[in-house]
Amino acid sequence: NDKEFSRDCCSEECVSKDPSLNHEADFMENVSVKNPSEVANVQRGQPKVSFADIGCGFGGLLVKLSPMFPDTLMVGMELRDKVSEYVKDRIMALRKENPGQYQNISIIRTNAMKYLQNYFQKGQLQKMFFLFPDPHFKERNHRRRVISVALLAEYAHVMAVGGILYTITDVQDLGEWMKACLDAHPLFEEVSSQEQELDPVVTLLKRATEEGQKVERNSGDTFQSVYRRVASSSAG
């Protein structure tokens, strides 16, 4: 199960179906927190993860979010084994250097497109991030994109009503694709630009991650979409 993954690899053989083989034990250990005071996601005394960074790469976003939301548990999900190991070591080092801090972030190596539902309950997540996802340029590979109308139904399932989904890319075609998928989905509505300006997380999207910093160094354009999970109209 410790195959090395290429950057764009998300084929069926990549990841075991048994989540326990996908570092879930580490994850459970890592998410234990000192101050489990987050009200919305504390059920039966057990704090639950509220933010998920899908395809988190080297973990830059988690590291930035951790001190901003010290009482919120968040997890990165990353397909590549070596990259997820790097993130795990990075978090451990930060915890060692900063006693009492960075206890609220963790990492799972998994194929989030396939196994997301193994990790979260219905309505659990307050925020989901898809920052600079792999573009899968060729049309026949569009089905591998991490945002699609079908996958949005899965994301909507694990998101709380009112939760926010953030995407950003430097690939215009992908940015338009993600926006079109979100516009087409009845359980998501675009967050107004005024509201986005007031959201401190939005300012992180462009440069918190390693990929974002690379794009910024090259003065590349970015295309972002910020959408809210809404209740289904039939449910009222």
Q: Which of 63, 65, 73, 113 binds ligand SAM (CB under 6 A)?
A: 113
What's the Cα-to-Cα distance from 213 to each of 53, 123, 194, 205, 207, rounded to whole Å?
17, 32, 25, 10, 5
DSSP string, the chain: ------TT---GGGS-S-GGGTTHHHHHHHT--S----STTEETTEE-EEEEEET-TT-HHHHHHHHHSTTSEEEEEES-HHHHHHHHHHHHHHHHHSTT-STTEEEEES-HHHHGGGT--TT-EEEEEEES-----SGGGGGG-S--HHHHHHHHHHEEEEEEEEEEES-HHHHHHHHHHHHH-TTEEEPPHHHHHH-TTHHHHTTSSHHHHHHHHTT---EEEEEEE---GGG-
Does 166 contact ligand SAM by CB under 6 A? no
Per rule CB under 6 A, is residue 57 in the interface with ligand SAM?
Answer: yes
Interface with ligand SAM by CB under 6 A: which range of 91-99, 125-133, 147-155, 198-206?
125-133
Stretch touching ligand SAM by CB under 6 A, among 38-46, 95-103, 126-134, 192-200: 126-134
Binding to ligand SAM by residue 81, rule CB under 6 A? no
79 is in an annotated binding site: yes
- Give CA 33 to chain center in angstroms: 20
**Active-site residue among 53, 81, 134, 170?**
134
38 in a known ligand binding site: no
**Residue 107 sits in the site that holds ligand SAM (CB under 6 A):** no
Pick from 131, 158, 171, 204: which binds ligand SAM (CB under 6 A)?
A: 131
Establish if 83 lies at the interface with ligand SAM (CB under 6 A). yes
- The only residue of 30, 75, 80, 120 in contact with ligand SAM, by rule CB under 6 A: 80
Task: Say whether residue 210 binds ligand SAM (CB under 6 A).
Answer: yes
Which residues, in sequence order, are bridge partners of residue 28?
Answer: none
State the number of binding residues for ligand SAM (CB under 6 A). Answer: 22
Task: Choose the stretch contacting ligand SAM; rule: CB under 6 A; options: 22-30, 94-102, 170-178, 208-216.
Answer: 208-216
Residue 134 main-chain phi, psi, to 5 deg: -60, 135
Binding test (CB under 6 A) with ligand SAM, winner from 49, 63, 79, 204: 79
Indicate the residue among 124 and 167 with the shorter CB distance to ligand SAM: 167
Binding region for ligand SAM (CB under 6 A): 7, 10, 55-57, 77-80, 83, 111-113, 131-134, 146, 209-212
Residues labelled as active-site residues:
134
